[in-house]
Structure formats: C-alpha cells, structure tokens
Amino acid sequence: MQEPFRAIVVSRDENKKQSVAITELTHADLMEGDVVVEVEATTVNYKDGLAITGRGPVVRRWPMVPGIDAAGTVISSTGTEFKAGDKVLLNGFGVGETHLGAYARYMQLKSDWLIPLPEGLSAHDTMAVGTAGYTAMLSVMALERHGITPSSGPIAVTGANGGVGTVAIALLSKLGFEVVASTGRMGEADFLKSLGATEVIDRAELSEPGKPLGKERFAGGIDAVGSHTLANLLAQTRYGGVVAACGLAQGMDLPTTVAPFILRGVTLCGIDSVMAPKPARIEAWQRIAKDLDMEKLKAISKTIGFEDIIGAATDILDGKIRGRVVVDMITSA
C-alpha cells in the first residue's frame, strides 16, 4: 500500500487553465474515509468526460482524480460495515468531483458511500452498467412507482445510443415494454432494435423547438437529454403519463409550459443517482442483477485499459461511443 500508484489527475493553473496528466500518488495523498479500496474496474461516463476535458463545471476541488464509479476490494477498514476482502461498489457521492475518484489504483472512502457488490455480478459487470445504467434502473423504477406498466403504452428513450439509453432499452424490453428509441445516429437503428427497441426515431423529431402540446404519442419516457427534447417529450406524453428526467446532454434549460401538467396530468420525475439513499441504491442494483439481460450488457459495452481513459473521455462527449465503457484497472493501472 505504501508504494506509489498511477492516477489520472486534472489540475488548473493560476489562470484557471485546465490540464490532465497521468501521474503517481501515494497513500498519503488519499482523502479522508474509513475504508480503503483497491479499484478493480471503473468506467467512463458522460460526467467523467466533462471532468477530464473541462467542457463542463464538474470538478470542484483541485487537483482532482476523476472517475465517479468504482468496483473493487476492501484493503482495510476502521469501520464496522466492511472488512478487508469484501467486494464493494461505489456510484456518485461527489467522488471524482470533490473527493478523489476512481482513476487511481486506490481510493479512501466513507463506508456509507459503498454497497456490497450485488450477488451474481462481477466488478466488471457492475462497471459495464455504471452510473449510467444504474440511473436507467432508477428511472424505470420511477415509472413503475407511478403506475406505468407495459400495458400503458410505448415508452420513449432519448439519447438512445448513450449509456443511460442503451441500458434503459434493454431493461424496459425485458420487462415487456414497447420502447421507442430516439437517436441522432440512425445508422445504429438495427443495434438499438437488437437491444429491444420496437421503433427508432430521429432525434430531430424531438430536439427542435415545439408546441406546448403535441399529439399524444408516449405513455412515458426516460430522458437523458433535457432542453427542447424533454419539452417535446412532455408535450407528446399521453394523459396521466410519466417522464423520468435524468440528464442534460442537450442543455440544462427546459423551454416548456405548464400545459402537459395541468391539461394532461403528466408527471415529471427527477432522477438523482449521486446522493440516492443506500436502500434505494441497493434495491436498484438488485433489480439490475435480476432484470438486465447480461448478453445485452455485453453487446453494449467494451473494455479499455487505464491508458485509454483520457481518449475515451473526449470520445464520449463527441458522440463516438456506443453504450458503455469498462476500464480494467487490475491489468492496466
């Protein structure tokens, strides 16, 4: 534990110009926490891409090791919840933003941020799901909680080729829902249908400024895009429908009106995966282990090494990555 280990570190100079580099850290560099974890696998999420490239204000402490997801083995613990040898999983809680993140061989964390690795899933499996897929599961659970069932009608999934979108399609289809996938990459239509999408539409149908109310098309939706896309999705949701909002790939704005809510009784659910309480996290991951087709998970994920993280961060923002990226930290870091 005392030997130096590699980490990706983002820094800013006195002029707030950001840089990123692979460097070495020691145990003394780790932050406060009662559990030390050896990272076996991590992933590259959209938020990680923003952190590494500086294209979004994700990092709030400098210097910072990015990486908001991790799965690995407890090396030591001063608490009572975990012991050395336990397999654990982390999503969120400011890790990679205000607390040193997963793009390093070791992390020191608070035990309340961790859950046991779900039964039946490996570290690699959980990172193929990652925060994106975990957010998709929270979104599906929100639809169910508000009474949406397969008999309710079609569910729209925006940003369908992204991490949230691909897992959401796979989950919804296995649960028996009709899924309409919205994507800016129509050349991927066959791939999205292989995940379970019934119909694939061009994102242009939803991404331009629209009317306060449109034709009632969807019983609900999972939106990782925001802005005009979310506004149009709400405007085209059927009476009593439910939309789960979990992302902002198009923008943070929401140029809509109250019409969908007061004329059609539409419900808009906000999905937060960062600070979700532990019972909700455990439930979501248990559902993932049960309801996600592992063969489809393999189809939407690829594995890279530690050296490839920085390049993948740029690619994910540029829309060049389909589905999920797993980083093997044991053989490459």
Q: Would you state the structure tokens that stand for residue 82, as one six-digit string?
A: 């975990």
Angle between helices 123-145 and 278-291 (to 10 degrees): 100
Distance CA 112, CA 164 (A): 25
Taking residue 241's Cβ as centre, other Cβ atoms within 10 Å add up to 28
Residue 225 makes CB contacts below 8 A (sequence gap 6+) with: 158, 159, 203, 207, 247, 248, 249, 250
Which carries the bigger pLDDT value, residue 297 or residue 331?
297
Q: What is the mean pLDDT of the chain?
A: 96
Q: Are 63 and 179 in contact (CB under 8 A)?
A: no
The string of pLDDT tens digits covering residues 239-261 is 999 999 999 999 999 999 999 99
Confidence (pLDDT) at 322? 87
Portions of the chain given CATH number 3.40.50.720: 131-270
pTM of this prediction? 0.93
Q: Would you state the structure tokens that stand for residue 197, as one six-digit string?
A: 């999408």
Using left for φ > 0, alpha for ψ between -120 and 50, and beta otherwise, residue 93 falls in left
Cα 223–Cα 141–Cα 238 angle in degrees, nearest 5 = 55
Rg (alpha carbons) of the chain, rounded to whole number: 20
The string of pLDDT tens digits covering residues 296-327 is 999 999 999 999 999 999 999 998 998 899 99
The string of pLDDT tens digits covering residues 125-178 is 999 999 999 999 999 999 999 999 999 999 999 999 999 999 999 999 999 999
Q: Would you state the structure tokens that stand for residue 252, as one six-digit string?
A: 């943070």
Measured CA to CA in angstroms, residue 14 lies from 11, 19, 29, 52 at distances of 10, 12, 22, 18
Distance CA 40, CA 105 (A): 8
The string of pLDDT tens digits covering residues 181-193 is 999 999 999 999 9
Q: Are 183 and 202 in contact (CB under 8 A)?
A: yes
Confidence (pLDDT) at 331? 83
The string of pLDDT tens digits covering residues 186-240 is 999 999 999 999 999 999 999 999 999 999 999 999 999 999 999 999 999 999 9
CATH 3.40.50.720 fits 131-270, yes or no: yes
Looking at domain 5-117+300-328, its CATH architecture is Alpha-Beta Complex (3.90)
Share of the chain above pLDDT 90, in %: 97
Measured CA to CA in angstroms, residue 91 lies from 116, 149, 289 at distances of 12, 28, 16
Residue 333 has pLDDT above 60, yes or no: no
Residue 36 bridge partners (DSSP): 76, 108
Secondary structure of the chain as H, E, C letters: CCCCEEEEEEEECCCCCEEEEEEEECHHHCCCCCEEEEEEEEECCHHHHHHHHCCCCCCCCCCECCCCEEEEEEEEECCCCCCCCCEEEEECCCECCCECCCCECEEEECHHHEEECCCCCCHHHHHHHHHHHHHHHHHHHHHHHCCCCHHHCCEEECCCCCHHHHHHHHHHHHCCCCEEEEECCHHHHHHHHHHCCCEEEECHHHHCCCCCCCCCCEEEEEECCEHHHHHHHHHCEEEEEEEEECCCCCECCCCCCCHHHHHCCCEEEECCCCCCCHHHHHHHHHHHHHHCCHHHHHHCEEEEEHHHHHHHHHHHHCCCCCCEEEEECCCCC
Q: Would you state the structure tokens that stand for residue 305, as one six-digit string?
A: 């090494």
The string of pLDDT tens digits covering residues 63-102 is 999 999 999 999 999 999 999 999 999 999 999 999 999 9
Portions of the chain given CATH number 3.90.180.10: 5-117+300-328
Q: Are 223 and 205 in contact (CB under 8 A)?
A: no
